[in-house]
Amino acid sequence: MNGSSDEPVISPREKSLTIGAVRKTLEKEFGNISISKIRYLEDQKLLTPKRTEGGYRVYSQTDVARLRTILRLQRDEYLPLRVIRQELSAGRAEDELPAPSPGATRQARRFNLTDSQAQTLYSADDVLADTGAAPELVKELIDFGLISGRQRAGATYFDENEREIIRAVTELARFGVTGRNLRVFKTSADREAALLEQIFAPALRSRSNERRSEAVESLENLTAVTGHLKHLLLVRDLRRLVNQRR
């Protein structure tokens, strides 16, 4: 054994992994993780794996921990990549995120009705890579009116809200739910929006900035209440399904 203190000591944990091995390591927690998704995050400068002389990517345990943090921030906090990059630059690490418990459900972040970030547009390719959605599913959502997208220089872009709709529907699609089935959600949302419009439209059209601001705040609060009520009614009905054979 060489006793020189100049030689680095490499522990087994520092063993480098190929991109395929990284995917396999993370697929249990992130079922839709793919090699193309990992490469996409590298293209977005969120990951910087080393390369072998032959040009193959090799990932350290630090790289894997960073990737896990990125994926959890996307999944659990619905943060866009731009914000994730800021979080990582500020030193946010994996051990600062709550560990997922078995059977835990993901809580989607609440969107602010006047959030300027909601105006950010994402290319169709970026949305597909970010959500893992199939192009056919996105087309189906457009055909059935759940999303519309925007055309810019011959390319389709989606805002943040539409991107998260695509992400949610992608999860439902795993259980065989199609765009046609989702019409019931759109119909329900349209009716709720119409009801809230009747209540708040006069105040939102007011010339008074103060009155409009108060109306927006009330609308956001009532939107949260109606969403919670809808969840409670859904739980009530599904409990009957669960308990009918007991």
Average pLDDT estimate for 143-153: 89
Residue 67 has a pLDDT of 94
Whole-number Å distance between alpha carbons of 51 and 127: 27
Kindly give the residue spans of alpha helices, DSSP state H, lying in the chain: 19-26, 35-43, 61-77, 81-89, 124-131, 135-143, 160-173, 183-204, 209-243
169, pLDDT greater than 80? yes
Which comes out higher in pLDDT, residue 103 or 203? 203
Residue 54: which pLDDT band, with cuts at 50, 70 and 90? confident
Q: Which pLDDT tens digit goes with each residue over 120-133? A: 788 999 899 888 89
Specify the amino acid at residue 37.
K
Characterize 107-139 residue by residue with b for buried, 16 or more Cβ atoms within 10 angstroms of its Cβ, and e for exposed.
eeeeeeeeeeeeeebbebebbbbbbbbeeebbe
Residue 119 has a pLDDT of 67
What the chain holds in terms of domains, given with CATH numbers, is 12-95 (1.10.1660.10), 114-180 (1.10.1660.10), 182-246 (no CATH)
230, pLDDT greater than 90? no
Mean pLDDT of the chain: 81
Tell me the C-alpha to C-alpha distance, in Å, between residue 163 and each of 47, 72, 120, 146: 22, 17, 11, 11
CB atoms within 10 A of CB 8: 5
Question: Minimal CA–CA distance to 72: which of 60, 50, 88?
Answer: 88
Residue 114 has a pLDDT of 62
Residue 199: which pLDDT band, with cuts at 50, 70 and 90? very high
Residue 115 has a pLDDT of 59
